[in-house]
Amino acid sequence: MRLPPQSCEWVDRSQPLGFRFEGRDYSGFAGDTVASALVASGASVLGRSFKYHRPRGLLSAANHDVNALMQWGGTPNVRADATPLIAGMDLKAVNTFGTLARDPGSALGWFSRLLPVGFYYKAFHNKRLFPLWERMFRAMTGLGRVDFATKRLHTPKRYGFCDVLVVGGGTSGLSAALAAAEQGAQVALVDENARLGGSTHGASELVDKVIAHPRIRVFTDAYAAGYYADHWVPLVERGRITKMRAHAVVVAAGAFEQPAVFRCNDLPGIMLASAAQRLIRRYAVRPAQRVVVLAANADAYRALQDFADAGIAVTAVIDLRDKVPGEQAARVAAQGIPLYSGHCIVEALPAADDKRVAKVRVAALGEAAVVAELACDGVFMSVGWAPAAALLYQAGTKMRYDDGVHQFVPGQLPDGVFACGRVNGIHTPESRLLDGERAGSAAAAYCGFGEVRDIAVKAEMESPTHPWPIVSHAKGKNFIDFDEDLQLADLENAIQEGFDNIELMKRFSTVGMGPSQGKHSNMNALRVLARATGSTPGAVGTTTARPFFHPVPMSHLAGRGFTPERRTPMHHRHAAAGAVWMPAGVWQRPEYYAVAGQSRAACIEGEALAVRNGVGLIDVGTLGKLEIRGPQAAEFLERVYISKYAGLKVGMTRYAVMCDESGVVLDDGVVARLADEHFYFTTTTSGAAAIYRELSRWNTLWKLDCGIVNLTGAMAAMNLAGPRAKAVLEGLTNVDLSLPFLAVREGMVCGVPARLMRVGFVGEWGVEIHVPAEHGAAVWDALMEAGKAHGIRPFGVEAQRLLRLEKGHIIIGQDTDGLTTPGEAGLDWAVKLDKAFFVGQRSLMAIAGKPRRQQLVGFMLPAGHQGDAPKECHLVIEGGEIAGRVTSVAWSPSLARHIGLAYVRPGMDAVDSSFTIRLSDKSLVTAGVVKTPFYDPDNLRQKETT
Amino acid sequence: MSAITFENVSHTPRAGVKGPGAAAWLAALDLPVPRAPNSWLPLPGGLIARLGLTEFLVEGSEAAKLAAPLAPGVYPVLRQDTALVLHGARLNELLLETCSVDFRALDLSTRPVVLTSMVGVGATVIPGEEGGMPCCHIWCDSTYGEWFFETLTDVAGELTQSSQPRHQGATS
């Protein structure tokens, strides 16, 4: 029921909003949450419980109320207790079979004895029944419904910076923010509520001061989702994430009010006193007419005034404490409210329609005899608090259990992390103010702003938390975990079954594993464990608190990300030529060029045959391209590559293989000597960035007199290859093209400075042309134009892979893996162990005389092979055992055979021997070991100079 | 209308040099050499930036001076960058969404050069102010250039159209 206008209410009564819930029309106001609008409209049941489908109403109204999860269109698990009401919303409760009002699932409550704690584990223990249980559980459980047609949202993520981040905008947080800002720090203050103020509900002079302060930025309706190293805290807002980097963090996150445990403590109308206060003060909603207050601290008695102001009749105050402090007792007496000290509620009973609590039974604490049965339509509980300490735990704070306040408090805080207020065990409003000031001052001083102010904060005179707010009952339904419908007996049984450690008990019973992540249940659960094992809460400890502290929507986690894409200068030429793209690391490369009416295989074969019989042009600008200059440039290359380069003649190139310290092949490329102290060399496409970093590291360590320059992006490169290639290039360059195989020349191509390297990767006369990136497209165009008369075709990565396979050339990363040594890959010839030093030399020397693990060999299927051919990664089988694997395989149009490379066991590599390969359908094919190259074995075509 | 303007200045002449002898070599060419690593100095119609300890970027007509014969310990760096100048009221917000560096904490009077990562791409950034508005000069590898430009303009476009509710007192 809506109250008359309140002095500081958050709702705007001039803006009524209509919405639907469970098919019925409701109305509320701007500023309402969905739940406050529903309660204002008289709805008491907002959801159903997870396991037994029990009707549930608001419990905490504090942004972690599992009883009020709703489906809103494609958005599952909307937290109705915190989600602002929007006109036109159409909502449903998430956990119902049928409707909220009529849910056949509620019959499960009758079978609760058949659903003991650890039921899942016990059910799945039987393998035969596993599929049955899986299907059943999947059908019956789960919360919201995911709409797989939901459009991808690119929710922005941004970085933020501040000196002091204050988490929590209650009294202590406000005070801390103000103190830090007044000392000169730039402060960011984050609070999950729509307005600052915490339990003052926004109405305070402190709030006004904070909002007006020029050095304080306020993030409301946002939460600090986790704590990461170096004070990095993601602040999750509805429309974005701010990754806040702070120099110091003040955690003033407060505490979660905790429910008492008694039979049927989950009936609608039974809620935390703080929830009732929020409804009254913020939303001007009266959640009940006549209530029983279950108390165990001063907060309950302070709340009585709010209840009275809202016109709520308090039937009685039941206080768990034997001795109620005089001032509190006097306050109750002054209002004429009966006080039952040392008593508890043992059972709540529902109204006939099950939609609301109707009465409670009261007994002396520890006694079974009911001394009173009190009619009511609401029970407000204020029996204790649990600190919202997740961020402190994640930051590495050592927490200790304080018997004075019966809660965990920071024992030792990490550098730059501060705590204040309820999370610090300070509950009295005046003390929270001072504690915030103390922490804010200390945080600012930590950042270099001002001096730490000496502020004394009084310890609490009485505990705000009862150490055992739990009442057992023979008939159960005394819930400890509302998320998972876990009763007191469930935890006791779990402990009895041997799960007597807090982490084990959590996993077995699932306590604290629901949507609220134990915010209402963990403290009571560990108390149960402590009592059952004769321990103490402090000794039992808490479970590990991991990010996220609060659920972060998938729309945020999968929000905007950056996946850089690299394009060569000829990218648009490829696109215009019909390139079908494939990713190669961060690059986009043409896999092949589509030709209308031709299949992928035909296109690739056509490109390969163009190179073999005419001329082709491929963009190889993705190769890493590095330059090294200086008197010790050759010495550097000697050290990083396994071959020798000191004696490489100027104007010549040499194949280069790099190993890591363990002798594993890391990368390959070509080293070209342009001058005595000047080399230009390439790396693999995928290795370029890492190799440059590694070489820079070595150069720093070795301090040689040379410098490395990364030209990967600055140089375009293309490989012109085929018997007609020379004819195409002749008219475009001033370089004498009778240059020998493996030569390098600098000259002009199409009027721009170029480096020409005579290479043979694809097995034909070929030249790699490297030019500054800005000229790449022009040179490509000129070559394609000049090549028209020779039938030139651009060829893609797939054709190149086929052509190099015909030559038996390996691809690092495809024909090698993270354990392959040069010898295993057939690169013995490149290893020069007699050099003074190179990276990996020691390891290669150590294994030089030892048997190899595997050997790469060429293989060929028999001529006329029918049926499927092997694929990459198919296994070589010998005597029923795995004896190797295929690394490359293709149909060679030039040889009219299936050819490939495979690792086999030593002893299986003899030329003309054979081995079997198992295909995907488990059939076996026989392949013959052949010498490579498969094509042009004497390399005459690529070496041709005339 | 975009709140951030993009100017592509990739075709401005530029050249680079690195190595232990680079600073002295540049000084011998009568170019002012920034003393502090990661700082820059203006040149007539351009600038000279010190990238780390021993690498330099010269942009503008003075870049032609770097064609002089090299000295020992001087290694030329071919610069084929994509270069952009960004300017506008919401530039800081764009930087916050694309880069982890706190540009507003920099003292512009020290002429800082920031070697960083923007949208996942290595970039060199010189922040500044022009006409009371923030601006910045950004260089990145030209093979990332198109994607870099597309991504930045996408984010800038979102910022322009942004309906992100401003929270109580919240400012970027």
Contacts of A712 in chain B (CB under 8 A): 141, 143
Q: Among residues A679, B146, B62, B118, which one has the least CA distance to residue B16?
A: B62
Q: What is the ipTM of this complex?
A: 0.93
Dig out the tokens for A527 from the structure.
């108390």
Domain termination residue (choose one: A395, A412, A446) = A446
Ranking A635-649, A650-664, B152-166 by mean pLDDT, the lowest is B152-166
> Which of B168, B171, B172 to mutate against chain A (most A CBs within 10 Å)?
B168
My answer on whether A601 and A750 are in the same domain is: yes
User: Please, which pLDDT band fits residue A106 given cuts at 50, 70 and 90?
Assistant: confident
My answer on whether A815 and A898 are in the same domain is: yes
Residue A391 reports pLDDT greater than 70: yes
Q: Average per-residue pLDDT in chain A?
A: 95
Ranking A113-127, A486-500, A610-624 by mean pLDDT, the lowest is A113-127
CB under 8 Å to B169, separation ≥6 — which residues? A211, A216, A217, A218
Dump pLDDT digits (tens) for A235-269: 999 999 999 999 999 999 999 999 999 999 999 99
B9 and chain A in contact, CB less than 8 A: no
| CB contact (8 A) between residue B164 and residue A239 | yes
Cα atoms in the 13 Å half-sphere on the side-chain side of A292: 27
My answer on whether A937 and A829 are in the same domain is: yes
In-domain check, residue A76? no
B131 and chain A in contact, CB less than 8 A: no
Interface of B with A in 87-106 (CB under 8 A): 93, 96-100, 102, 104-105
In-domain check, residue A65? no
Q: Average per-residue pLDDT in chain B?
A: 92
A with B: how many residue pairs have Cβ under 8 Å apart?
A: 113
With both helix axes pointing from N to C terminus, report the angle between A326-334 and A298-309 in degrees, rounded to the nearest 10.
Answer: 20
DSSP state of A567: -
With both helix axes pointing from N to C terminus, report the angle between A522-532 and A488-496 in degrees, rounded to the nearest 10.
Answer: 50
A20 and chain B in contact, CB less than 8 A: no
User: Please, which pLDDT band fits residue A147 given cuts at 50, 70 and 90?
Assistant: confident
Question: What's A520's domain CATH number?
Answer: 1.10.10.1100
The closest CB to that of A774, out of B80, B93, B171, belongs to: B80
Contacts of A715 in chain B (CB under 8 A): 78, 80
| CB contact (8 A) between residue A773 and residue B170 | no
Q: Whole-angstrom Cα distance, residue A483 to residue A469?
A: 19
Q: Whole-angstrom Cα distance, residue B42 to residue A454?
A: 50
Q: Among residues A876, A892, A866, which one has the least CA distance to residue A929?
A: A876
| CB contact (8 A) between residue A156 and residue B155 | yes
Encoded amino acid at A288, one letter: A
A461 and chain B in contact, CB less than 8 A: no
**Residue A859 domain boundaries:** 805-834+850-941
pTM of the entire predicted model: 0.89
Contacts of A193 in chain B (CB under 8 A): none
Q: Whole-angstrom Cα distance, residue A143 to residue A68?
A: 11
Q: Under a CB-based contact definition with an 8 Å cutoff, are residues A375 and A315 in contact?
A: yes
Dump pLDDT digits (tens) for A864-900: 999 999 999 999 999 999 999 999 999 999 999 999 9
Contacts of A218 in chain B (CB under 8 A): 167-170
Helix (H) or strand (E) holding A173: helix A171-182
In-domain check, residue A784? yes
Interface of A with B in 176-235 (CB under 8 A): 195-196, 211, 216-222
My answer on whether A614 and A763 are in the same domain is: yes
Question: What's A665's domain CATH number?
Answer: 3.30.70.1400
My answer on whether A483 and A594 are in the same domain is: no
| CB contact (8 A) between residue B170 and residue A218 | yes
Contacts of A585 in chain B (CB under 8 A): none
My answer on whether A347 and A275 are in the same domain is: yes
Q: Whole-angstrom Cα distance, residue B76 to residue B25?
A: 11
The closest CB to that of B169, out of A218, A560, A569, belongs to: A218
My answer on whether A319 and A395 are in the same domain is: no
CB under 8 Å to A579, separation ≥6 — which residues? A590, A591, A592, A593, A594, A796
A898 and chain B in contact, CB less than 8 A: no
DSSP state of A597: T
Q: Whole-angstrom Cα distance, residue A750 to residue A731?
A: 9
My answer on whether A406 and A531 are in the same domain is: no
Contacts of B122 in chain A (CB under 8 A): none
Residue A641 reports pLDDT greater than 50: yes
In-domain check, residue A39? no
Q: Averaged over A333-337, what is the pLDDT? A: 94
Q: Averaged over B74-95, what is the pLDDT? A: 97
Q: Which residue of A has its CA nearest to B20?
A: A707
Bridge partners, residue A900, by sequence: A859, A889
B67 and chain A in contact, CB less than 8 A: no
Cα atoms in the 13 Å half-sphere on the side-chain side of B78: 20
My answer on whether A490 and A367 are in the same domain is: no
In-domain check, residue A737? yes
My answer on whether A930 and A820 are in the same domain is: yes
The Cα of B61 is separated from the nearest Cα of chain A by a number of Å equal to 18
Rounded to 5°, angle at Cα A415 from A412 and A421: 60
The DSSP result for A801-818, as a single string, is HHHHHHTT---TTTT--T
Domain termination residue (choose one: A339, A354, A380) = A380
Residue A946 reports pLDDT greater than 60: no
| CB contact (8 A) between residue B168 and residue A211 | yes
In-domain check, residue A647? yes
My answer on whether A695 and A660 are in the same domain is: yes
| CB contact (8 A) between residue B167 and residue A221 | yes
- How many domains are there within chain A? 6
The Cα of B30 is separated from the nearest Cα of chain A by a number of Å equal to 24
Residue B2 reports pLDDT greater than 80: no
pLDDT value, residue B167: 35
My answer on whether A605 and A726 are in the same domain is: yes
DSSP state of A106: G
pLDDT value, residue B163: 39
